[in-house]
Amino acid sequence: IQRDALARIAQASDRRGVEDARVAILGKKGELTLAQTGMKDVPREEKPAVGQLLNEARKAITEALDAKLEEVQAQADKAAVAGVDLTLPARSLPPGGLHPLTIVRDEAVRILRHMGFALADGPEIEDEFHCFDALNTPEDHPARNEKDTFYFDSGKLLRTHTSSVQIRSMEKQLPPVRVIAPGSAYRRDEIDATHLSAFNQLEGLYVDTDVSVGDLKGTLEYFLRALFGSGTEVRFRPHFFPFTEPSFEIDVKLKVDGQAPRWVEIAGCGMVDPNVFEAVDRELGLDPGAQARYTGLTGFAFGIGLDRLAMIRWGIRDIRALIENDVRFLAQFQ
Ligand code: PHE
């Protein structure tokens, strides 16, 4: 057996051949294995001698297999670099960089975390409750229209804003709530230089006892000045959102694209509408009167368009540049 095995191993010319030989000789049904199984039929007085012979054979064969494997591997390596000039300098790889959206998102998150906000998230495939109903958005509100929102057959939808994470966060934790949630949102908009059907927002929510409009203004002014520079002018314009009352749009006075400073709309915000707190309590199975967890508290929420933020910051005129992945565009943000 040993002689045949060693001859067979010597003939193997590649890895595969060596492995086949190993199986044929040492495998479960290999020649040597079968011989060792046959030990039980060997007369008792011959057992020690035969056993020793078989063990020696196994050792010799294993060593031969290992040596052969190394040999064929070395040959394969040599063949792989044959004709390659290993003294040539390596081709350098272009360095990667962060996407502009990643840069503005990370910066906004860094500032807000510093201010005590924790990261939160929620699903992009949402239900009507978290995207609309709990956010005090009536059944006939235009945002719920099939023309404006992507609905699935199941009745679920692609969230039209990150405000759904407000509800998700309140369901998940106890007050006080101080969270931010950057993420994608989707609307059936006509795609042009300022609209994509998938875009990015950053949501913020602060709920506690006695949160005031002053807190809202102070927090957002601080945040926006950290983002755009300490001298930046910020103004709050009355607006309407179903889930906040009062509601505001926030403008920041900025030089965009080298032009004279002008007011640029940057975010929506407002004081959380009491109906939102009530909806969360009800969903939690709590009576908003007797068992209220959120009803009776106050809070503010805000939502910032991250794509807009990137466009303003670098004077990007067409939002589509953010998703085309043209390296000539992306390489400018390193
Ligand atoms: N969800 C609003 C939007 O998408 C923004 C917003 C968030 C407004 C939070 C008020 C409070 O336009």
ipTM, two decimals = 0.98
Cα–Cα dist 281/258, whole Å: 49
Cα–Cα dist 145/179, whole Å: 29
The residue whose CA has the least distance to atom 9 of ligand 1 is 302
Neighbours of 43 (CB within 10 A): 7
The residue whose CA has the least distance to atom 12 of ligand 1 is 268
Q: Does 245 show up as a binding residue in the annotation?
A: yes
Ligand 1 atom closest to 204 (CA): 9
pLDDT at 258: 78
Nearest Cα to 22, choosing from 37, 5, 41? 5
Alpha helices in the chain (DSSP H): 2-11, 15-26, 31-37, 47-81, 100-114, 128-131, 164-172, 213-228, 274-283, 306-314, 321-324, 327-330
> Any bridge partners for residue 241, and if so which?
244
The residue whose CA has the least distance to atom 10 of ligand 1 is 269
Q: Which residues have CB under 8 Å from 69's CB, separation 6+? A: 15, 18
Cα–Cα dist 35/31, whole Å: 6
CB 308 within 8 A of CB 211: no
Q: Which residues have CB under 8 Å from 317's CB, separation 6+? A: 193, 257, 311
Nearest Cα to 277, choosing from 250, 252, 298? 298
Ligand 1 binding site (Cβ under 6 Å of any ligand atom): 161, 163, 241, 244, 268-270, 301-303
pLDDT at 259: 83
HSE-CB at 160 with a 13 A cutoff on CA atoms is 25
pLDDT at 86: 84
DSSP of 128-169: HHHHTGGGT--TT-GGGSTTTS-B-TTS-EE-SSTTHHHHHH
pLDDT at 242: 97
- Please tell me what DSSP assigns to residue 90: P
Query: What is the Å distance from ligand 1's center to 285 Cα?
Result: 26
Ligand 1 atom closest to 302 (CA): 9
Among 117, 149, 158, 161, which residue has the most ligand 1 atoms within 8 Å of its CB, making it the best to mutate?
161
Average pLDDT for consecutive 10-residue bins of the chain (334 residues)? 91 92 92 90 91 93 94 91 87 88 97 98 97 95 90 96 98 97 96 94 98 98 95 96 98 86 95 98 95 97 96 93 94 87
Ligand 1 atom closest to 269 (CA): 10
The residue whose CA has the least distance to atom 7 of ligand 1 is 303
Neighbours of 179 (CB within 10 A): 23
Query: What is the Å distance from ligand 1's center to 231 Cα?
Result: 25
Query: What is the Å distance from ligand 1's center to 272 Cα?
Result: 11
Token pair, residue 59, equals 């050792």
HSE-CB at 303 with a 13 A cutoff on CA atoms is 19
Query: What is the Å distance from ligand 1's center to 189 Cα?
Result: 17
Which of left, alpha, beta for 198 (phi over 0: left; psi -120 to 50: alpha)?
A: beta
Query: What is the Å distance from ligand 1's center to 112 Cα?
Result: 17
Cα–Cα dist 61/70, whole Å: 14
Query: What is the Å distance from ligand 1's center to 155 Cα?
Result: 23
Element (H, E) at 234: strand 234-241
Query: What is the Å distance from ligand 1's center to 209 Cα?
Result: 22
What pTM, to 2 d.p., does this model score? 0.75
Ligand 1 atom closest to 166 (CA): 9
